[in-house]
Structure 1
Amino acid sequence: MKKLNRQEIFNIIQIGHKGDVASRTFDIFITATILINVLVMVLQTYEQFSPYADLLNALSLITILIFCVEYVLRIWTADLLYPEDSRPKAIVKFLLSFDGIVDLFTILPFFFLSGFVAFRILRVIRIFHLFRINGQYDSFAVIFSVLKEKRNQITSSLVILMILMLASSIGIYYAEHDAQPRVFRNAFSGIWWSVSTLLTVGYGDIYPITTAGRIMAILTGFLGVGVVAIPTGILSAGFVEHYAKMKLLNNFARDEQIDLLTIHVTEGHCWNGLKVSEIGVPDHFLPAIVTREGESMIPVQDLKLKIGDTVILAAEAYFSHTY
């Protein structure tokens, strides 16, 4: 039986591409393991399944052990994921990445006493493993791209929300403190009320009883509708712009009159493992589209190229004409 080397193991656990049977098999296997783990976690909350506690615990143990092995392998091959960094730096980079943190907190609570509430709550992080199902196809690249592109507008809207939250908390304190001194004891005791009102949740556990307080609640509710709509509209517009841009690029890519270069990233290719911002392209050309397993993606600067990717380069004149 052939012994797998580090590169082959890395290809299996990190890079799933068509034609790679082992990688595809691992993707299916790890996806099934994630789903089983989450299903077991849900079933363990039902009293009806208490007679099957031993079976559920055994399944949970098996899936956690699988995650442990995968976690160790990912650490072992971290320098292949970040080839531009030294091995210690690559390991630290992986440990602090989203996948690394989720992997750690998926297995960590299992090895501590279940009596600690904090560790039991950490088990919820296992659900974030479900991102792997879409993450391997880079579906979330669109979300992160839009968030990064609109981060200034989103930050501004969040600052406005925090200011209104503080203002409404102080306002409700002055309006309700005399009538409900135990509920609104200080300026910050109304934060919970202001959050639920501004976000139009309205749990009803804390509410104003004075006329001034009710007027304050009405104004806060109206402001909340508008403030919450701001980041929602920003994100919606960002997604529309992103997909409109992608559709436009695809249309140009099908036009034979456009100057295009098609680069296929194969094993050993100098672009394999590099970010779009790090690749060297011919003069007067820019990355226009990255195609991965039938999906077309905008080549954002942080997108890391993998084996099997197809990079379409378009002439700079096309970009200046289009935008």
Structure 2
Amino acid sequence: MASEASFQELDSGGSENSEETEIILNVGGVRQVLYGDHLNQYPDTRLAKLVNCLSGGYDTIFSLCDDYDPGKREFYFDRDPDAFKCIIEVYYFGEVHMKKGICPICFKNEMEFWKVDLKFLDDCCKTLLSEKKEELEEIACRVQLILDDLGWDKSENRWKKCQKYIWKFLEKPESSYPARVIAVMSFLLILTSSVVMCVGTIPELQVTDDEGKSVEHPALDKIETACIVWFTLEYILRLISSSNKLHFALSFLNIVDIFAILPFYVSLILTHLGTRLMELTNVQQAVQALRIMRIARIFKLARHSSGLQTLTYALKRSFKELGLLLMYLAVGIFVFSALGYTVEQSNPDTLFKSIPQSFWWAIITMTTVGYGDIYPKTTLGKLNAAISFLCGVIAIALPIHPIINNFVRYYNKQRVLETAAKHELELMELYAGEKKKGSPKEELACLWGRGKGDPQWSRRLKFSYSDTFVHLLSDEHRHHRNRLQSCK
């Protein structure tokens, strides 16, 4: 009889005009009254379906909410109340703004739960969501790379395993102590080669050849040859062990390695065979030009320095600011060089012979270098120089702050991503260790082996974002996370 009375009460509530129906919601302990005329504007949302669900019985009600009190006609939801306050704005304002401090991915999941389309999310909030997605994808890629190093596919042949071992030995200094020693030795050889290149130009350390010309000391040549042999061997081993050789060859750092190695061999070939094909003078000029290209090997330090990589990325992200800086300087150089040439023509001993020649003066003045080889002699010329100096300082100082911010932001982001990747691995090791009694790393490798063939594996890894291990949560449980998980 009680159940029949409850259904009669539901039917009577459902028979009311849905436009005038009011529903009481309890979201995370926060009660709120909403009206059907507002909610039915978007009939595909969960709240709009909730208005018209009373006539469908308890099965329909509990498919839309976590609990229901027939006496109070109150619907209960174990969701984030702060996110809900933002989401219901769509019924009043037609758009959703995300409150500051809410995780964008958690907010996206809340919108999916309430079945509010992401198109209602404001553009500024979509930007935060896309940035968070990129961070999660990068964390997932880092974790996957580490899992690839831990996992060994038993179906692979011995050559594939050897390739992976060589690649990890040369590319992953943190993988083992010998790999770290090799990385340090490679770093020291790069520095040694660069120092030898500089020291070889000191006249006191040079020797005279048979033709009476000064050349580098033979001992320095031997040191450089040993360094080049190491660089060549390292490049060949990395190329052989690479899984995607085309991508490896076109990588920027690998192109730098080629430019650091090739000049030595090309100059060696020209020295021994070029004299038979062309004049000795042309060969010497070509060899000298190739020897200058040895400065490219200093860029090999970027492979072992995260700071240089961060600086490169910050400059890449600061193209707009750098473009503004060059534009300011270009306009200032053109204007002040033309003014300087014009006002200095009244002086018969002027050093400003033409406007293009005045460009040099404008450049060194606006950049505060001031060599003094060209300088104004008239009063108006000196006034023009003072103004150009002040404008140059302002033009250079304006874009510096955004460039520094890009560097600091990227550097801090990389540190956060590294910490997050390690944290995810620790959680996975803990999960693997709880499942079996073996070594956590061994169980993690086994877990990787089982999940590698699973198409859901990468997606589960990609959507890991809380401080609890949620990679392996199934799709049907993703929306039923507890309050602690939702707040992370």
- TM-score, normalised relative to structure 1: 0.65
Give, as a single letter, the amino acid of the residue that structure 1 aligns with 2:234. Answer: E
Query: Which residue of 252, 261, 275 corresponds with 1:107?
Result: 261
Give, as a single letter, the amino acid of the residue that structure 1 aligns with 2:204. Answer: Q
Name the residue aligned to 2:343: 175
Q: What does 1:1-323 align with in structure 2 at a 5 Å threshold?
A: 5-18=162-175, 20-50=176-206, 53-78=217-242, 80=243, 83=244, 87-88=245-246, 90-94=247-251, 97=252, 99-110=253-264, 111-112=266-267, 115-116=285-286, 117-134=288-305, 138-176=306-344, 179=347, 184-241=352-409, 262=427, 280=459, 285=464
Give, as a single letter, the amino acid of the residue that structure 2 aligns with 1:119. Answer: L
CA RMSD, Structure 1 to Structure 2 (Å) = 4.0
Whether the 8 Å contact between 1:183 and 1:189 is mirrored in structure 2 is no
SS in 2 for 1:5: helix
Which of the pair is proportionally richer in helix?
A: 2
Whether the 8 Å contact between 1:286 and 1:316 is mirrored in structure 2 is no
Q: Which moved more, 1:176-185 or 1:56-65?
A: 176-185
Whether the 8 Å contact between 2:318 and 2:406 is mirrored in structure 1 is yes
User: How far 1:224 sits from its partner (Å)?
Assistant: 1.0
Whether the 8 Å contact between 1:196 and 1:202 is mirrored in structure 2 is yes
Looking at CA atoms only, which structure, 1 or 2, has the larger radius of gyration?
A: 2
In structure 1, what is the Cα distance between the partners aligned to 2:200 and 2:318?
40
Relative to structure 1, is the Cα distance of residues 141 and 64 closer, same or farther in structure 2, using a 3 angstrom cutoff? closer
User: How far 1:260 sits from its partner (Å)?
Assistant: 11
Relative to structure 1, is the Cα distance of residues 149 and 128 closer, same or farther in structure 2, using a 3 angstrom cutoff? closer
- TM-score, normalised relative to structure 2: 0.45
Task: Summarize deviations over 1:68-117 as a string: whole Å, max 9, x none.
Answer: 22233344345x3xx5xxx43x14422xx1x1232122223323255445
Whether the 8 Å contact between 2:351 and 2:376 is mirrored in structure 1 is no
In structure 1, what is the Cα distance between the partners aligned to 2:318 and 2:486?
25
In structure 2, what is the Cα distance between the partners aligned to 1:151 and 1:124?
25
Relative to structure 1, is the Cα distance of residues 23 and 144 closer, same or farther in structure 2, using a 3 angstrom cutoff? same
Give, as a single letter, the amino acid of the residue that structure 2 aligns with 1:65. Answer: V
Relative to structure 1, is the Cα distance of residues 194 and 317 closer, same or farther in structure 2, using a 3 angstrom cutoff? farther
User: How far 1:144 sits from its partner (Å)?
Assistant: 3.7
In structure 2, what is the Cα distance between the partners aligned to 1:156 and 1:183?
31
Whether the 8 Å contact between 2:367 and 2:393 is mirrored in structure 1 is yes
Task: Using the aligned pairs only, state the percent identity.
Answer: 25
In structure 2, what is the Cα distance between the partners aligned to 1:156 and 1:62?
45
Relative to structure 1, is the Cα distance of residues 210 and 238 closer, same or farther in structure 2, using a 3 angstrom cutoff? same
In structure 2, what is the Cα distance between the partners aligned to 1:287 and 1:56?
56
In structure 1, what is the Cα distance between the partners aligned to 2:294 and 2:414?
38
User: How far 1:133 sits from its partner (Å)?
Assistant: 3.6
Give, as a single letter, the amino acid of the residue that structure 1 aligns with 2:397. Answer: A
In structure 2, what is the Cα distance between the partners aligned to 1:143 and 1:287?
31
Task: Summarize deviations over 1:298-323 as a string: whole Å, max 9, x none.
Answer: xxxxxxxxxxxxxxxxx8966xxxxx
Task: Summarize deviations over 1:267-289 as a string: whole Å, max 9, x none.
Answer: 8969xxxxxxxx7455765599x
Relative to structure 1, is the Cα distance of residues 36 and 234 closer, same or farther in structure 2, using a 3 angstrom cutoff? same
Task: Summarize deviations over 1:6-55 as a string: whole Å, max 9, x none.
Answer: 2222222222224x234223212211211221221122122332368111
Relative to structure 1, is the Cα distance of residues 8 and 218 closer, same or farther in structure 2, using a 3 angstrom cutoff? same
Unpaired runs of at least 5, structure 1: 271-278, 289-314, 319-323
User: How far 1:202 sits from its partner (Å)?
Assistant: 0.7
SS in 1 for 2:196: helix
User: How far 1:190 sits from its partner (Å)?
Assistant: 1.9
Relative to structure 1, is the Cα distance of residues 129 and 282 closer, same or farther in structure 2, using a 3 angstrom cutoff? closer
Q: Which moved more, 1:193-202 or 1:208-217?
A: 208-217
Give, as a single letter, the amino acid of the residue that structure 1 aligns with 2:195. Answer: L
In structure 2, what is the Cα distance between the partners aligned to 1:158 and 1:37?
34
Task: Summarize deviations over 1:53-73 as a string: whole Å, max 9, x none.
Answer: 111111111111222222333
Task: Summarize deviations over 1:209-256 as a string: whole Å, max 9, x none.
Answer: 233322221111011111111232222333455567789x69x97xx9
User: How far 1:128 sits from its partner (Å)?
Assistant: 2.2
Unpaired runs of at least 5, structure 2: 1-157, 208-215, 268-282, 430-440, 450-457, 468-484
User: How far 1:169 sits from its partner (Å)?
Assistant: 2.7
User: How far 1:179 sits from its partner (Å)?
Assistant: 4.4
Q: Which moved more, 1:28-37 or 1:68-77?
A: 68-77
Give, as a single letter, the amino acid of the residue that structure 2 aligns with 1:107. Answer: I
Q: Which moved more, 1:198-207 or 1:180-189?
A: 180-189
Give, as a single letter, the amino acid of the residue that structure 2 aligns with 1:45. Answer: T
SS in 2 for 1:32: helix
